[in-house]
Amino acid sequence: MPRNGAQPLLEVSQLTKHFLGVTALLDVSFDIYPGELLSLIGPNGSGKTTLFNCVSGFLKLDRGQVRFKGEDISNVRPDKIALKGIRRTFQDVRTFQEMTVLENLMTALQQHQEENMIERVLGTQRIQQFEHAARERALELLDMVDLRPWQHMQARHLAYGQRKLLEFVTALMPDPDLIMLDEPAAGVSGEMVDRMKQHIRALNAQGKTILVVEHNMRVVMDISERIVVLDYGRKIAEGTPSEIQTNELVREAYFGH
């Protein structure tokens, strides 16, 4: 919902995507306002991940438009979208496996700085300051998710839940304007689900705009301000958690007729 007449941060309008004749998304539209926490829910195969991939540039749109801070980012390459200030995670956790935890975070930030090779060779003060600030931020984030003791361990040696946390803070590293989390609570223990929930809540409380895809209804109802429901690639409902819980169409989509 618009706050003080603010412009939406992300505008998705009439997004349509087909896969070999199967309609994955049809005319899906919604907006996210700065500081909002919006969840995207729907039964399996309803098009949530497809929508994520379209917004983050990993899939081309067939029709429709995605605007970020008023700028059209439809069909822009994923690395360019990342640099514009949208970071995402994946359902099946992606990290640089052969890099240490700290290197993972540093790599996530490094590309935001244009490097002058001569400055690097000379190790100028500007470069040193940047490195220092980046390391400080990385360690702060690792403290937040209790991964600091593992900072020099290669990511492939971490437990699944830890890798999920690493992927989460990697997305936060460049302080993006929009964070997209694909099933942050999937595949981890109950205790880890609660921790994830707390982290997401804290982040939102700091004013971060977050888009979440999540299966775990308890989590979704707990953390979301607003929810968009997809079914067979169409948006069937949008509203606050309490509105969604009492929505007939949503019940039908989830529990059948």
Find the shortest distance in angstroms from Cβ 256 to other proteins: 36
Instruction: Give CA–CA dist 182/194, Å, rounded.
Output: 16
170 touches other proteins (CB under 8 A): yes
Q: Where are the alpha helices (DSSP H) in the chain?
A: 48-55, 78-84, 101-110, 117-122, 125-144, 160-172, 190-205, 217-223, 241-245, 248-255
Site for other proteins in 192-221 (CB under 8 A): none
- Nearer to other proteins by Cβ, of 116 and 242: the residue is 116
Q: Which of 83, 139, 217, 221 binds other proteins (CB under 8 A)?
A: 83
Bridge partners for 68 per DSSP: 10, 71
Q: Which of 7, 14, 115, 132 binds other proteins (CB under 8 A)?
A: 115
Q: Are 197 and 169 in contact (CB under 8 A)?
A: no
188-190-193 Cα angle (round to 5): 65
Q: Hey, what are 228's tokens?
A: 């968009």
- Nearer to other proteins by Cβ, of 79 and 248: the residue is 79
Find the shortest distance in angstroms from Cβ 120 to other proteins: 5
Q: Which of 17, 88, 164, 199 binds other proteins (CB under 8 A)?
A: 88
97 touches other proteins (CB under 8 A): yes
Q: What is the DSSP string of 23-43?
A: EEEEEEEEEE-TT-EEEEE-S
Cα separation values, 10 from 15, 30, 164, 201, 229, Å: 13, 8, 25, 20, 17
Find the shortest distance in angstroms from Cβ 92 to other proteins: 11
Q: Which of 35, 43, 78, 161 binds other proteins (CB under 8 A)?
A: 78
Q: Site residues (CB under 8 A) for other proteins?
A: 56-58, 77-80, 82-83, 87-88, 90, 94-99, 103, 106-108, 110-113, 115, 117, 120, 170-171, 174
